[in-house]
Chains A and B, each alone.
Chain A
């Protein structure tokens, strides 16, 4: 089942002449994990930005299910349609671990108590023990912070999960744990996981590897 579709998407930076993404087309399906690989400057981040609704393509369409992103409220799309995991974790330092995870649910209008309960469950699921739920992110290791970020994505209920170099700041053991969680999310919970990475080992865990080169997206 199609989760997110790129239809001849091109993007040129304002004032630029050469497109950084050229007629990219791809159908991202639910229950699968995708890896987008390619050298720096190949257009991976721009592609991710368009998938996340942070940039709109100059040409072509990004379609979530059967809704064109051009017709959607992009803030709502980022709240409910897609969830992003960053290399630098990007947890809110002012909130506790559990509050970070429950925040997207509360933004969707889920009552605070329910959101907290579900956040606690999600944290346990990604291996964050309960004693750490009330700590602030700065008290956690890099691997733990990334797992909290994944738990946050898990709780948002978004069908599409975008991960931008999710293991870039992690050691080998934590990389393995994080990728295992992402794989479970795709295969067991039916999410569509798209990982942008440089790491060949991370790419190897994907169901499908997409290569970006000079703005052109091709499946391997």
Chain B
């Protein structure tokens, strides 16, 4: 081993407290960086996935719902309409119209060939899905047309046509009704009786309905805000859209959870670069101060004829080795304690390690170079 290698070993081992402090400092800084990175990832993910939903109760007119859909403030609409005392192929009862089949929990659906959940959700066609029990009761099978209507539609139509006084009038009214009622193809059967009396219709197909009043009122309409920071804007816009609606429509829009997530996320985002900056500053200055502490040794080496570059290199290398071991330990600690997904943290950690080592090299290098540039005789004339 050359004298430089031996001297380097001695630098690392002869003053273990000094080396240990450098190592522990690097490990702590790496752990702090790792922990904050993991936390940042968690809250960043939570912030990106935060879903603030605005829910309208009490009869939002379908025309208003369409306006809200087109406002650009919302996405992913979901509608519910309770069709009371309706007729499904001459069977009376209450039928729930629901737009999103994905709300089905754990229930299996037998699909007509060429259909599945995704195709159904995005379909613009007049299709529907109902429970297998209901279909059996009403004599439907997959592919059959199903006609539905709004509550009180037949009576309203009879009054509109003025065909309600005799049986003959009623028959004529029913003929017109069947012509006007939307025919929806049954494309799926839900294998669960929990969904009896529920008819699933894709959200984009709701516009095909012909409603006698032309003013279907949704019992429930819900939207995800495209940008939750525009919640107030959405609230104001909804107020404006609903200003001509007579019934009282209640909007439930709670941003408190999202606000909490956002505030923490913003705090972490602010602290993150500051923490990295402080860590790199410490990672550069403290090794530099350690080198400054041994400036006398550097002067002795200079007096013995060791070149400035070689002196600087020895002390920089010692500090880098300590820092590298410390950083590796810090990384292991993060993996053991925080248990992050290694794939997401390795790249960031690699960058941090590189930056930390660069700061360490720069800090110790600058101080070592300054020490090596000091006047050797002036340094060594005084007693230690």
**For the complex, what is the distance from the CA of A80 to the CA of B301, rounded to whole Å?**
14
Chain A's nearest CB lies how many Å from the CB of B1?
A: 8
Q: Tell me if A107 counts as interface (CB < 8 A to partner B).
A: yes
**For the complex, what is the distance from the CA of A169 to the CA of B380, rounded to whole Å?**
13
Q: Is the CB of A92 within 8 A of B303?
A: no
Q: Tell me if A61 counts as interface (CB < 8 A to partner B).
A: no
Q: Tell me if B142 counts as interface (CB < 8 A to partner A).
A: no
Q: Tell me if B256 counts as interface (CB < 8 A to partner A).
A: no
Q: Is the CB of B15 within 8 A of A87?
A: no
By beta carbon, the residue of chain B nearest A45 is B377
By beta carbon, the residue of chain B nearest A168 is B383
Q: Is the CB of B381 within 8 A of A88?
A: yes
Chain A's nearest CB lies how many Å from the CB of B349?
A: 33
Chain A's nearest CB lies how many Å from the CB of B10?
A: 4
Q: Tell me if B382 counts as interface (CB < 8 A to partner A).
A: yes
Q: Is the CB of A95 within 8 A of B10?
A: yes
Pick the contact of B7 from A48, A95, A164 — CB < 8 Å?
A: A95
Chain A's nearest CB lies how many Å from the CB of B374?
A: 11
What chain A residues lie within 8 Å of B11 (beta carbons)? 94
What chain A residues lie within 8 Å of B118 (beta carbons)? none
Interface residues on A, range: 20 to 34
Known: A86-B380, A88-B380. A78 touches B10 (CB 8 A): no
Q: Tell me if A103 counts as interface (CB < 8 A to partner B).
A: yes
What chain A residues lie within 8 Å of B10 (beta carbons)? 94-95
Please, what's the 1-or-0 string for B348-384, where 1 marks a CB less than 8 Å from any CB in chain A? Answer: 0000000000000000000000000001110011111
**For the complex, what is the distance from the CA of A54 to the CA of B308, rounded to whole Å?**
12
Please, what's the 1-or-0 string for B287-323, where 1 marks a CB less than 8 Å from any CB in chain A? Answer: 0000000001101111111110000000000000000
Pick the contact of A88 from B14, B375, B382 — CB < 8 Å?
A: B382
Pick the contact of B304 from A93, A94, A103 — CB < 8 Å?
A: A103
**For the complex, what is the distance from the CA of A194 to the CA of B301, rounded to whole Å?**
21
Q: Is the CB of B383 within 8 A of A88?
A: yes
What chain B residues lie within 8 Å of A79 (beta carbons)? 304-305
| In the complex, number of A-B residue pairs with CB atoms less than 8 Å apart | 72
By beta carbon, the residue of chain A nearest B9 is A94
Q: Is the CB of A75 within 8 A of B381?
A: no
Q: Is the CB of A49 within 8 A of B383?
A: no
By beta carbon, the residue of chain A nearest B305 is A79
What chain B residues lie within 8 Å of A48 (beta carbons)? 377
Interface residues on B, range: 20 to 34
Q: Tell me if B103 counts as interface (CB < 8 A to partner A).
A: no
Q: Is the CB of A94 within 8 A of B297?
A: yes
Q: Tell me if A126 counts as interface (CB < 8 A to partner B).
A: no
Pick the contact of A93 from B297, B306, B380 — CB < 8 Å?
A: B297
Q: Is the CB of A88 within 8 A of B384?
A: yes
Q: Is the CB of A94 within 8 A of B305?
A: no
Q: Is the CB of B305 within 8 A of A104?
A: yes
Q: Tell me if B90 counts as interface (CB < 8 A to partner A).
A: no
Chain B's nearest CB lies how many Å from the CB of A14?
A: 11
Q: Is the CB of B305 within 8 A of A107?
A: yes
Chain A's nearest CB lies how many Å from the CB of B246?
A: 91
Q: Is the CB of B383 within 8 A of A75?
A: no
Chain B's nearest CB lies how many Å from the CB of A197?
A: 13
By beta carbon, the residue of chain B nearest A93 is B297
Give me 20 other A-B pairs in contact (C-beta within 8 A), A87-B383, A92-B297 excluded.
A48-B377, A52-B376, A54-B375, A54-B376, A75-B306, A78-B303, A78-B305, A79-B305, A80-B305, A90-B296, A92-B300, A93-B14, A94-B10, A94-B14, A95-B10, A104-B304, A104-B305, A106-B2, A106-B3, A164-B377
B: which residues have CB within 8 A of A? 1-3, 6-7, 10-11, 14-15, 296-297, 299-307, 375-377, 380-384
